Amino acid sequence: MSVLDEIIVGVREDLAQRRLPLSQIHDLLLSAPPVRNALESLNKNGLSVIAEVKRSSPSRGALAAIADPAALAKVYEEAGASIVSVLTEKRRFGGSLDDLVAVRQKVSIPVLRKDFMVDEYQFYEARAYGADLVLLIVAALSSAQLKDFYALATELGMTCLVEVHTHDELISALEISPTLIGVNSRNLKTLEVDAQVFANLLPQVPKEIIAVAESGISTRAQALFAEENGAKVLLVGEALVRGDDPALALRTLLGQG
């Protein structure tokens, strides 16, 4: 199996352990906080950043302990992040739904639930726990799942970040007319990073869609490279959590350091 396949197996096993009856999740939805407008947060002049609360990754292992994810998220917000991304996958990324809840309560900007969304239940769960956005990874989904999950997330009021890594995946993503497309320079099946993916795919994202550059961005030069190829947003995690000053790292990427 590829790395992506292995992660999804673990995601399904963990989901089976915590799954609640849908009736209970629907009850939780009634008390969920109102959805924040992600597109409004991103539609501004200049480059935007989705800053990630990320303890570890399959490619790098442990990155940072992050004992207080909410405090880190607040630092991101004050440094100029437009959205906070919270990893909720446990086995490879060390995240949890508790992190999502804590962050959502602390910041006033939209919050992305970053996980491997492969089951309808996860979308109800995401909204019930306060997510304003969810991730849809084209490589992990069938065409039918991509369409159905996008419709479900939209019905629940959430924005979808639709992630692609290849030209064929971009074509599949465009078929559902998304508002956000993320171009990931990391191949989730091998974990290799290739910055040329930005140059190949970002210019192909229609101008009316907000293009997000994901992975492999740790310097201002890399941020500018992504922007020059059409990115309006950067999704950054590792470069922010590994240093001593995440606020300075974020401002540096934005050219404000």
Catalytic residue among 82, 85, 172, 184, which? 184
From 85, 215, 232, 238, the catalytic residue: 215
CB atoms within 10 A of CB 193: 14
Sequence-separated (6 or more) residues with CB below 8 Å from residue 141: 118, 149
Is 214 part of the annotated catalytic residue set? yes
- DSSP letter assigned to residue 193: B
- Active-site position among 163, 169, 227, 238: 163
Catalytic, 228? Answer: no
Q: Which of 77, 89, 169, 214 is catalytic?
A: 214
Q: Which residues contact 199 (CB under 8 A, 6 or more apart)?
A: 225, 229
Question: Where do the H-state alpha helices sit in the chain?
Answer: 3-18, 22-30, 38-42, 69-79, 97-106, 120-128, 143-155, 167-174, 196-201, 220-228, 238-241, 246-253
Burial of 23 (0-12, 13-18, 19+ CB in 10 A): exposed
Query: Is 155 among the catalytic positions?
Result: no
Structure tokens belonging to residue 123: 């979308």
Give yes or no: 172 in active site. no
- 114 as an active site residue: the answer is yes
Active site residue 163: yes
Check 48, 56, 85, 114 and give the catalytic one. Answer: 114
Catalytic residue among 41, 54, 77, 172: 54
Q: Is 44 a catalytic residue?
A: no
Residue positions annotated with a catalytic role: 52, 54, 114, 163, 184, 214-215
